[in-house]
A = this chain, B = another copy of it.
């Protein structure tokens, strides 16, 4: 994706203001909604089993994130995913901490059976979903993203989804093509939920009509470029998080000039 393509993708997103339906975790609901609003999408957080599947067709994309899952939430995630797949609404899965407990791994697998368009995780999560054991430690990855490249390819081929494994370098694959992006800043790892935020931004690009591979690349490039703008003048993770939202809002101004760094 060239700088001109990313700029055009962002313009398209802002013109469409896609409604992005999120069934996501408690930790990131506020910051995810603000990131989506800053970039130009319209977020909605709707998770009750009484209405989640009914809400899906109103949206242009669905984000499912298992960060703070529990039984009632899973009951809503599954029919929401099925409705999205049946209606041709793209959806993305964030399998937070898959591999850390049996409940997470099994829930993520059941959701993958509902055919997500994209799966985004860290190395530990993607490796665990591709059948490799012993790489998770809580919600943070113990492995660099390089170590999960093969696992990402296998998971993409078995699931039919575009798979992104994020870290110092972000890799995107559909099981045949593999793209690497090296934008971002280490401070992203010191703010909670920036991975979840990347997932939501990919959802926004899916909702803007990009195909899964391009939406994933655009979402990861966008947060990476915004992070590079946000770190300038930040005094720590608090001010960085504030500046990151500002940078997503102003990304058309200066930040895009830095461009996408291919790995």
Of all chain B residues, the one with the shortest Cβ separation from A40 is B190
CB-CB under 8 A for A192 and B37, given A236-B249, A236-B250, A246-B239: yes
Contacts of A25 in B (CB 8 A): 45
Name A38's contact: one of B45, B70, B71, B236 (CB within 8 Å): B236
What 0/1 pattern do residues 53 to 77 of A give for CB contact below 8 A with B? Answer: 0110011000000011111100000
Interface-side segment among A94-102, A177-185, A217-225: A94-102
Is A257 an interface position by the 8 A CB rule?
Answer: no
A234 to B249, alpha carbons, bound, how many Å? 12
Contacts of A79 in B (CB 8 A): none
Is A47 an interface position by the 8 A CB rule?
Answer: yes
Bin chain A's interface residue count. 35 or more
Q: Give the oligomeric copy count.
A: 3
Contacts of A137 in B (CB 8 A): 19, 42, 58
- Give the residues from 137 to 171 in chain A that come closer than 8 angstroms, CB to CB, to chain B: 137-140
What 0/1 pattern do residues 1 to 31 of A give for CB contact below 8 A with B? Answer: 0000000000000000001010001111111
Contacts of A27 in B (CB 8 A): 29-30, 33, 45
Is A241 an interface position by the 8 A CB rule?
Answer: yes
Instruction: Contact check, B42 vs A70: say whether CB atoms are below 8 A apart.
Output: no
Contacts of A249 in B (CB 8 A): 190, 236-238
Instruction: Contact check, A68 vs B43: say whether CB atoms are below 8 A apart.
Output: no
A219: min CB distance to chain B, Å? 18
Instruction: Contact check, B55 vs A70: say whether CB atoms are below 8 A apart.
Output: no
- Give the residues from 239 to 263 in chain A that come closer than 8 angstroms, CB to CB, to chain B: 239, 241-250
Interface residues of A (CB under 8 A from B): 19, 21, 25-31, 33-34, 37-38, 42-51, 54-55, 58-59, 67-72, 97, 100-104, 137-140, 189-193, 234-239, 241-250
Nearest 6 Cβ contacts at the A-B interface: A238-B245, A236-B246, A236-B249, A33-B192, A48-B70, A44-B138
